[in-house]
Structure 1
Amino acid sequence: MLGNVIFGLLIPILIGGWILRRNVNILLAYYPLGVATSSCINSAGFNFFWNILPNTRNQSYAALPFDLGIYPIAGCLMMYMILIKNARSWPAIFITSLTLTLIEWLAKEMGRVIYFNDWNIYWTFFSYLLPLVVVYGYSKVFTLMYDVSEKNRK
């Protein structure tokens, strides 16, 4: 469990916090969405498709460091690249999904992640791609709402 906390929570929070220290609004806007989507997907996945070590009675407990760390921070960093660094959105989404999939593949190869019910690394890629597309769509809605509210103030 200590490895989950260090690699899934502490290191991503430190790296993400350092990169986003001047863009706290990105953290405030996208971090909660990342936690929510990660928790929902992991809750469903633990029941039907995968397991992570250490085994606990409630698998969500073992995934909590990841749900609070690497997954929401990856989404925030993706949005930072799109919004602040002007990266093209679809390549940023694809690269972020691919990076998270590679990290999970490494964990799977080390025996820390176990798949069952025909789940595989390809489905894992789509399980990262879909929430990141949702985060990007949320950013578009969020931007539209912000622009509309600014027009109503004038």
Structure 2
Amino acid sequence: MIGLFFIKKASRVMLLSFPISAYLGLLFNDIGVAMKWWSLVPSKLESIATLPYSLGLYPVVVSLMYQFVYPKLKATGFIILTAILLTLCELCFMLLGHVDYEDGWNTGWTLVSYMIACCIVFVNMKLLKKVFNVP
């Protein structure tokens, strides 16, 4: 719902960040499920269970943070703050029983994975802005 509202406020940011954010969300979640680092509810449909996160929460949070936080904190602040926010969201889902960490995975590794993903999104956004000459 927030994503629909936001698309009117910052459609350029959404168009630039949503595809790579969604792709990375799907990729990281599929790898994590396949490696048995975490499981989601319902456990028999884990790839489908990741879709609300990969196609909803992650891209919307990254877009919001890029639009409103990046201009104030620059790259490092954007990456760290976005990764922390997403990690806290995932920690809430874990405490609610929607996500279960397994096989050595923990909140620290979650933060690292989000920092990697945010770095990739940031670099991709910069390249796209440069290539398409978007302010």
The answer to whether the 8 A contact 1:81-1:87 is kept is no
Query: Does the CA contact (< 8 Å) of 1:82 and 1:89 recur in 2?
Result: no
| Counterparts of 1:22 and 1:101, CA distance in 2 | 25
Q: Which of 126, 130, 134 is 1:144 aligned to?
A: 130
Q: Match for residue 70 of structure 1?
A: 57
Query: Distance in 2 between the 1:87 and 1:17 partners?
Result: 25
Amino acid at match of 2:3: G
The separation in 2 between residues aligned to 1:22 and 1:112, in whole angstroms, is 31
- Alpha-carbon RMSD: 1.9
Distance 1:93 1:16 in 2: 20
Q: Which residue of 2 aligns with 1:34?
A: 21
The one-letter amino acid of 2:65's match is M
Query: Deviation digits for residues 22-74 of structure 1, max 9, x if unmatched?
Result: 32111111111111010000000001110011222x31111111111001111
Equivalence for 1:111: 97
Larger radius of gyration: 1
TM-score under structure 1 length normalisation: 0.78
Would the aligned equivalents of 1:78 and 1:93 in 2 still touch at CA under 8 Å? no
Tell me which residue corresponds to 2:3.
16
Q: Distance in 2 between matches of 1:89 and 1:20?
A: 22
Q: Which residue of 52, 68, 71 corresponds with 2:40?
A: 52
Give the whole-Å Cα distance in 2 for the aligned partners of 1:53 and 1:73. 22
Structure 1 residue 116, shift from structure 2 partner:
1.2
Q: Mark the runs of 5 or more structure 2 residues left unpaired by the alignment.
A: none
Instruction: Look up the SS of the partner of 1:88 in the other structure.
Output: helix
* Percent identity of equivalent pairs: 26
CA distance in 2, matches of 1:96, 1:106: 15
Give the TM-score normalised by the residue count of structure 2. Answer: 0.88
Secondary structure of 2:9 counterpart: coil
